[in-house]
Structure 1
Amino acid sequence: MSDRNPNFALFSPRDSRIPRIRIPMGNCPKNFIKEAARYENILFLAKITFWSDALLLENDLDVEPFSDNLHQFYPKTPYHISEEEIRKRTDLRKECIFTIDPLTARDLDDAVSCKELKNGNLEIGVHISDVTFFLEEGTPLDEVVRKKATSIYLVDNVYHMLPREMCMFCSLLPGVDKLAFSVLFEMTREGEVVSRTFARSVINSCVQLAYEHAQVMIEYPKKEWSASELPEIKGGFQPSQLSEVVNHLHHIALKLRSKRFENGALRIDQTKLIFLLDPSNGAPAAFNTYINKESHRRVRVR
């Protein structure tokens, strides 16, 4: 069968366990497309050289790069949040807000916060990057993003739903004013939700923590951190304040998980594998198991 790319043809293996294969037209018989009927009952011998490409093809996933004519719909650079836009939003830039992600992450789409209220309750904040501010509805870029629907994470690569430039605009990098959509929960220390507030906001993350940092804070809440042990902390906040927030969130997370299990929630602890691929053909060369620790468990409020 023909592929959307005229330089390739699609071959469907007889064994359904094998994904469809994209073959360069230069390796196909002459007039293969024009005289397709001649080859309907002929079996071809083929070899998959890049398995990741085969998996994308088999699942009909769109990983085509964004075309140059869509650049006009990207945010203008350099971009600065206007005072008018800030006045429309809840200003949380002075709050102790930060991200917790894998050590090498650059696409930081959510941040957290937690502070004690005068009545003894906690205000827990979840702050999601406000992509919709930059992605105008109904534009050609919006149509392409809708079709992609999601970012695609493979073992060796990531195909982003948004253009790379827009990902960096929206990424909640520390020390930079960013637009967000925030949910603020007032909760008792037993995990009971007292109230919820939803707001478009402007935030300024004070640090980009990794799961490894958060895990040490959970295991050693009174640890004295040296400057070299953590990424640079902005906004005048101290490591002890970050540790306090992490442990408040951890405490609430334990309470919420306990309640869910008491109410019959199902827990499935499947072993997650990490693969090392052969760069020459994308085939698995080695594997290891992924250890899921407490710092990976996010606060979920229902």
Structure 2
Amino acid sequence: MSKRISQIKSQKTEILTFFQTHTDRLYTLTDLYNHLKIYDEQDKMFVKLMVEDLVDEGKLHPAGRGRFTIEAKSTGYITGKLDFVNPSFGFVRYDENEPDIYISKDDMHGALDGDTVQVVITKKQGKREKNPEGRIVEIVTRARNTVVGKIKVFKNYALVSPDVKGFHENIFVPKDKINGATSDDLVIVELITYPQLGIQASGEVKAVLGKSGDNNAEMNAIMAEFGLPVDFPQAVLDQAAAISEAIPEEEIKKRRDVRDILTFTIDPFDAKDFDDALSFRTLENGNYEVGIHIADVSHYVRPGTLLEEEALKRATSVYLVDRTIPMLPEKLSNNLCSLRPHEDKLVFSAIFEMNDKAEVLKEWFGRCIMHSDRRFTYEEAQEILDGKEDETYSPVLHTLNNMAHILRDERFKKGAFNFETDEVKFRLDEEGKPLGIYQKVRKDAHKLIEEFMLLANRRVATFVHNKGPKDQEPYTMVYRVHEPPNPSKLETFVRFANKMGFSIKSGSTQQLSQSLNRLMTEIEGKPIQNVLESLAVRTMSKARYSTQNLGHFGLAFDHYSHFTSPIRRYPDIMAHRMLQHYLDGGKSLPAAEFEQKAEHSSAMEKLAAEAERASIKYKQVEYMSLQARNVVYNGLVSGVTDFGIFVELEGMGAEGMVRLADLTDDYYEFDADNYRVVGRKSGRVIGFGEELKVKVKTTDLDRRSIDLELVSIAGKTFTKKAPKPKPRRGKIPAPKRRR
């Protein structure tokens, strides 16, 4: 063996040894040169060639940005999404049945919240540690390339403070990239470079949304924060405008005509798009014919058009506090497809013959033309259900309400969950400033509509599922699926409920649903109701769209689809098209194309829900910022952490924090196992569900946060006198400060 070959082998061995023994972080060629004490350029080139040989041999692996690792991607890497929870650390989530991977800020590799990343485990989960630790070795896909934030302009540059979750550092903007923005503007910045360890991100201002604090600017900033579109492209608007409002006679002839049957809508008082209507008549045999009529959006939005492309891209309407960002242009959503009273409309219908026990005896699905006789608000319909006489509609609404109660009771008997969370609403002035907060309570009028929409969704899904030949796979359909809860999350909730004095049995689906419904009954009307219901909902899996029929756990349905809201949900348009295809005698459709669209729709629905929550949170904080600071509010402990106590303010749904650092009467320690903090000297316990009184200390609109001051707990006034905690045995007391 020549001396040169021996030298190369020896060098390769030394390089491999370096990467095998240095696994605390990712190392670069420069790190390797320094370790080997190589400073000559020719020697560096020789080492670099050795590294490239080792990569070709599969013994070393590039990890991005000039870094290398000994671990092979095929065996040691995990792919997941980063949740960058605070400036110090984050978690990579990759499997509901596996613990999230803890990532420190030094091991982020420049990743941002929502990025899809590859991770290598550096420390396995131990008895004390709830999560394994890891480091990000590669960013597979970026979640965003734009960031929304507030700009501060200096003489030769600007800094943008991001409003985006998971982006914890300012973005540098060069002077020639500011594009007319001025200090305190809300802007959209396109990232030029991403942050790295010790290196600031840089970007260019692409849009100025308006001044921070302006309602329109803030709402548009929320949409941009979640990457959701606001305005429609002009070509899409032009295509919508070109659609004729007249219904051709030849189209009417293709449809079932139900215009002479009593038909009405029930919607919120401020609704503009009415996408569902009910028709009702008593048949000669004494049974009832109930029609659920849904706007026939698929008649106007055709495959291959710009309208179709835009509807799929958006996938859902977004409902912010003061506005709706529709999935379809206004010409369609509020006009052509809206089932407005006293107008003929094209609909896709599910018509059932039912008896007074709410049993479906016959069913028919197909396209109709209808005419709404009256538009009810929920409040108007509720007045009739509460006893107000109406010669035409009193018997109809009472009959439908009785049937709805039967349908509802049957669902609960079969294991459906009875979660009744109240909706937070605002009274706003003309400029969007919040004048008041209230919680909208669901009454029978809401539940009546809900039950018949559930009935239509369930029967459509069941019809398609049973349509195909018995000995073959069911026909492809887009289902709304809701899987059973993750066992570990369920175990945590059960343990928590037990500590709160409630018994939850989870041995079977039936036991779990019965226990949860019993819990909801026990807490109804109590201060802890909203908090416990919210925790129970978070324990459940998230509903989503899929071509796999996995059933709907929360509703206790074996087959369930979304059919009833095509104006605001793209999956409903897919369901209409697929149902018509099968009614026309078509064979099973290929699942892959629809599964991809279902996954996209689920992702867009999640973003829309996050934007809606952000707008509610912003308005809650804005409302509290306008209130006098000496007002005392009733609250309930809704969460406990090692740095503070979350408090939900009664009747508002707004949540703020009492920071432990502000509790100066004692030194409070976090008791994670029992969801509480305990005063070291006094033994005072502040735990989940505890009633207390608070004042607003500060509000931060940029962070959408409220800091609270504790006034009293369980009627006992909170004192600000701060005793000095005695040091624990074995610990050295802190040195006294010199004055």
In the alignment, is residue 26 of structure 1 matched against residue 180 of structure 2? yes
Match of 2:400 among 249, 256, 261: 249
Inter-CA distance 41–132: structure 2 relative to 1 (3 Å threshold): same
Q: 1:290 aligns with which of 425, 430, 440?
A: 440
Counterpart contact for 1:91–1:202, Cα < 8 Å: yes
- Residue 119 in 1 paired to residue 285 in 2? yes
SS of 1:240 mapped into structure 2: coil
For 1:220, the equivalent position in structure 2 comes to 387
Question: What's 1:262 paired with?
Answer: 413
Structure of greater Rg: 2
Partner of 1:230: none
Residues 87-236 of structure 1 correspond to what in structure 2 (within 5 A)? 87-167=253-333, 168-220=335-387, 223=389
- 2:229 aligns to what? 62
Equivalent pairs counted in the alignment come to 276
Alpha-carbon separation, structure 2, partners of 1:295 and 1:144: 34
**Cα distance between partner residues in 2 of 1:247 and 1:26:** 61
C-alpha spacing 1:285/1:54, structure 2 compared with 1 (3 Å): farther
State the match for 2:239 in structure 1.
Answer: 73
Residue 141 of structure 1 aligns to a residue whose secondary structure is: helix
% identical aligned pairs: 33
Q: Is the 8 A contact 2:337 2:345 kept in 1?
A: yes
Residue 74 (structure 1) shift = 2.0
Cα 1:42–1:143 shift into 2, 3 Å: closer
- How far residue 104 of structure 1 moved from its aligned partner, in angstroms, is 2.7
Give the superposition deviation at 1:37. 7.6
| 2:424 aligned residue | 273
Residue 93 of structure 1, CA deviation = 0.7
Q: 1:116 to 1:157 in 2, by over 3 A?
A: same
Distance 1:256 1:15, change over 3 A: closer
Task: Go from structure 1 to structure 2 and tell me whether the alpha carbon gap of 1:204 and 1:10 turns closer, same or farther (over 3 Å shift).
Answer: farther
| C-alpha separation in 2, matches of 1:244 and 1:204 | 20
Indicate conservation of the 8 Å contact 1:214/1:243, yes or no. Answer: no
Q: How many Å apart are 1:242 and its aligned residue? A: 2.0
Counterpart-to-counterpart distance in 1, 2:167 and 2:387 = 48
How far 1:67 moved relative to its partner? 2.2
- Residue 232 of structure 1 aligns with which residue? none
Partner of 1:3: 146
Tell me the amino acid that sits aligned with residue 126 of structure 1: I
Instruction: Determine the C-alpha separation between the residues in 2 that align with 1:283 and 1:140.
Output: 36
- Taking the aligned partners of 2:362 and 2:407, their CA distance within structure 1 comes to 16
Range 175-184 or range 103-112, more displaced = 103-112
Q: Deviations over 1:15-58 (max 9, x none)?
A: 7398x99x9743489xx979758994279xxx953543343233
Give the distance between the partners of 2:160 and 2:348, measured in 1 at CA. Answer: 43
Code of the aligned partner of 1:3: T
Name the residue aligned to 2:200: 41
Q: 1:185 to 1:57 in 2, by over 3 A?
A: same
Cα distance in 1 for partners of 2:354, 2:191 equals 67
Alpha-carbon distance change, 68 to 244 in structure 1, aligned in 2, over 3 angstroms: same
- Normalization by structure 1: what TM-score? 0.79
RMSD (Å), alpha carbons: 3.6
State the alpha-carbon separation in 2 of the partners of residues 14 and 66 from structure 1.
Answer: 24
Distance across 1 between alignment mates of 2:375 and 2:179: 47
**1:120-162 superposed Cα distances (whole Å, 9 cap, x missing partner):** 2211110001111111211122101110111100001110100
- Distance in 1, Cα, partners of 2:163 & 2:309: 33
2:295–2:346 CA contact under 8 A, matched in 1: yes
User: CA 1:4 to 1:70, structure 2 compared with 1: closer, same or farther past 3 Å?
Assistant: farther
2:395 partner SS: helix
Partner residue, 1:234: none
Distance 1:82 1:211 in 2: 33
Separation (CA, whole Å) in 1 of partners of 2:182 and 2:193: 11
Shift of 1:187: 1.2
Q: Is the 8 A contact 1:51 1:283 kept in 2?
A: no
For structure 2, which runs of at least 5 residues remain unmatched after alignment?
A: 1-143, 152-158, 184-188, 203-210, 459-739
Give the unaligned 5+ runs of structure 1.
Answer: 224-238
- Which piece of structure 1 moves more, 270-279 or 175-184? 270-279
Bigger helix share: 2
Q: Distance in 2 between matches of 1:34 and 1:121?
A: 64
Partner deviation per Cα, 1:142-190 (whole Å, 9 max, x = no partner)? 1011101111000011101000112211111111111001110111211
